[in-house]
Amino acid sequence: MPTLFKYDKGVKFLKKPENLTLIADPTTVKAAADCDAALVTHAHTDHSLAFPNESIKVYSTEIASKLFEGLTAKKTKNTEFVNLNKTTNVNGIETKFIPAGHLLGAAQIVFYFDDLTICYTGDISTDEMLTVPRAAVPEDDVDILITEATYGKGDLFFDSRERLKASILKWVAENLQKNKVPVVNIGHLGPAQEIIAYLNKMLSVDIYCDNRTSEINKVYNEEGHNLQWNRFDILNDSELKTERSLVLLPRAAKEIPDFLKPHKFSRSIITGQASRFAYSSFEQAFPFSMHANCNELLEHVKAVNPQKVYTLYGFDSELAAIIRQRLKLPAQPIKLSKKRLTLEEFF
């Protein structure tokens, strides 16, 4: 019988007649309850909620596990660590975790079923960055590609990441010249480390982070990076030098920490969502993302060259339509649309 797959608060794969069920990136504990194993692509919490669930075997990279613990302060349980680019047997199914970009330890997962080879991307970035490599293309022929579509909309514009980083650098330098502390709201995991690495390379500036970002930075350094930063929760007021200090706040933070209030400061936000929304409470919004943009997603699909594409997250319907139009590949969202009434039911 054919391998079946669907989206059910995670990507589920059912192999018959064995009735073996695997789930990738379950979004709730309940979603994984009737599954034989869970596979986690990366540490962001919308993909990694299987980690603390001791009732199911979890497969992931060790780095993803460490980053999850740094991000959430929760312990991973019942987890088997896999090596990137090495075949791993998961309940009799050969799988291979390959680089996804996006953030440290992130992986795409290739499933080698008897009748289908399926690649599930998780979240990806196809750009070579300071802290992560670009997403890899599977070495083997792929029948089904299940790709993220977070920014899979043609009119969402991202400038190149190098130009965006240069704009961030210019904004930081201009504010320091005015003796104003640049204060940047940014994601704890992924964007923060990439921007810290870039500013460390380009500018002599003291960077201050919250404790959670600091724990994540430590994991990056354990893996060979050399991020330089300070924790602001143990900062002595006299240590903050207005002319050379930069403060990173969590992306959703609204309030300014007390130690900043005596100083002049300027606020910006770094998020890919700035390509969609105006952030009027900030002086500057930079649409920098560790996700692939629409053109990059199309390039990845073209490089993989599957027989069929399923889209997931974000602009799934829009990306599927663009893939059909530009790449001439069968494509559709993996999430089923809500059932519409038949004519008979309507009447």
Say if residues 242 and 93 touch (Cβ distance below 8 Å). Answer: no
pLDDT string in tens for the chain (347-residue length): 689 999 999 999 998 777 899 999 999 988 998 899 999 999 999 999 999 988 899 999 999 999 999 999 999 999 999 999 999 999 999 999 999 999 999 999 999 999 999 999 999 999 999 999 999 999 999 999 999 999 999 988 788 999 999 999 999 999 999 999 999 999 999 999 999 999 999 999 999 999 999 999 999 999 999 999 999 887 665 567 777 899 999 999 999 998 888 889 999 999 999 999 999 999 999 999 999 999 999 999 999 999 999 999 999 999 999 999 999 999 999 987 555 555 454 44
Tokens of 219: 């994991």
How high is the pLDDT of residue 236?
A: 60
Residues 150 and 170 in one domain: no
The total of structural domains in the chain comes to 2
pLDDT in tens, 272-299: 999 999 999 999 999 999 999 999 999 9
pLDDT in tens, 168-190: 999 999 999 999 999 999 999 99
- Phi, psi (deg, nearest 5) at residue 51: -55, -50
Residues 149 and 9 in one domain: yes
Residues 129 and 102 in one domain: yes
Residues 87 and 142 in one domain: yes
Residues 11 and 114 in one domain: yes
Among candidate residues 235, 265, 286, the one where a domain is terminated: 286
How high is the pLDDT of residue 340?
A: 55
Residues 38 and 151 in one domain: yes
How high is the pLDDT of residue 5?
A: 94
How high is the pLDDT of residue 344?
A: 52
* Mean model confidence pLDDT for the chain: 93
Residues 102 and 52 in one domain: yes
Residues 134 and 238 in one domain: no
Among candidate residues 270, 286, 302, the one where a domain is terminated: 286
Residues 90 and 58 in one domain: yes
Range of the domain at 138: 4-155+292-346
Residue 118: which CATH number?
Answer: 3.60.15.10
How high is the pLDDT of residue 37?
A: 97
Residues 280 and 309 in one domain: no
- Whole-number Cα distances in Å, 224 to 59, 63, 131, 154, 218: 23, 12, 10, 36, 10
How high is the pLDDT of residue 15?
A: 87
How high is the pLDDT of residue 217?
A: 98
For residue 193, how many other CB atoms are within 10 A of its CB?
30
Residue 276: which CATH number?
Answer: 3.40.50.10890
How high is the pLDDT of residue 259?
A: 87
Contacts of 48 by beta carbon, 8 Å cutoff, 6+ apart: 25, 40, 42, 60, 64, 68
DSSP for 137-190, please give it. PPSS--SEEEEE-TT--TT-----HHHHHHHHHHHHHHHHHTT-EEEEEE-TTT
Q: Say what the pTM is.
A: 0.93
Residues 207 and 267 in one domain: yes
